């Protein structure tokens, strides 16, 4: 009988792994169907290396498990049979370099810097590389509410507020009324979001079929 992810986390790891226990039912909800398949799994922010060890054991030997971290020392804490990329998720050039090497992604987990713009920019860059039916998960989103991080409840620049805007994409084919440059960009970047789920300190997106996209009433706001 296969061990649960929580059992692996509690009993089997030899490298450090720091995960919030309420995350584990959400992990199982979205990740269990990928066990013993040839998925491509990517985690940004792997700290002590134990999470990659955990994912490797959980998903099995067929999986391609990839870790990314800004700290070069992570190469000295490498779990067996995983790939590693060192770089700054807040640097667009890093994504331009690494994403062609990674290819299509089944599951992407952002446990990186937890900085608001990093989380938003990472999703904008990575989302097009998520496979149809795939999962994009951001954890530790409680930093959106931390005053000492320059954030707070309903602060407009946070990842949580950005995520709330993406809820409307689920009903994109029913949109009527004014389209602004911001909603036009969101529509064209994330028009294939299939679902959005909020849990304590987590937001999870799944990729569905692209929805009908109306003609563009605005020039690209990014030029």
> Which residues are designated catalytic?
114
Total residues found in the chain within this entry: 223
Q: Phi then psi for 162, rounded to 5 degrees? A: -65, -40
Q: Phi then psi for 155, rounded to 5 degrees? A: -65, 130
Residue recorded with tokens 């030029």: 223
Written as six digits, the tokens of 32 are: 């269990």
Q: In this structure, is the dihedral angle defined by the CA atoms of residues 68, 71, 75 and 77, taken in order, positive or negative?
A: negative
Residue recorded with tokens 């999470």: 51
CB 195 within 8 A of CB 170: yes
């Amino acid at each position: 009988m296969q061990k649960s992810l929580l059992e692996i986390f509690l009993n089997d790891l030899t490298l450090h792994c720091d995960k919030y226990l309420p995350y584990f039912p959400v992990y199982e909800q979205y990740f269990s169907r990928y066990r013993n398949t040839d998925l491509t799994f990517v985690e940004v922010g792997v700290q002590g290396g134990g999470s990659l060890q955990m994912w490797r054991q959980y998903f099995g030997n067929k999986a391609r498990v990839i870790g990314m971290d800004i700290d070069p020392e992570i190469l000295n804490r490498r779990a067996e049979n995983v790939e590693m990329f060192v770089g700054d998720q807040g640097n667009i050039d890093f994504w331009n370099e690494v994403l062609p090497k990674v290819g299509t992604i089944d599951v992407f987990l952002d446990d990186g810097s937890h900085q608001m713009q990093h989380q938003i920019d990472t999703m904008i860059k990575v989302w097009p590389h998520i496979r149809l039916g795939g999962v994009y998960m951001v954890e530790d989103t409680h930093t959106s509410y931390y005053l000492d991080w320059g954030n707070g409840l309903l602060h407009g620049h946070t990842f949580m507020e950005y995520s709330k805007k993406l809820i409307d994409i689920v009903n994109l084919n029913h949109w009527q009324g004014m389209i602004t440059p911001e909603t036009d960009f969101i529509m064209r970047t994330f028009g294939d979001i299939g679902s959005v789920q909020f849990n304590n300190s987590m937001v999870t997106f799944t990729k569905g079929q692209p929805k009908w996209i109306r003609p563009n009433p605005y020039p690209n706001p990014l030029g």
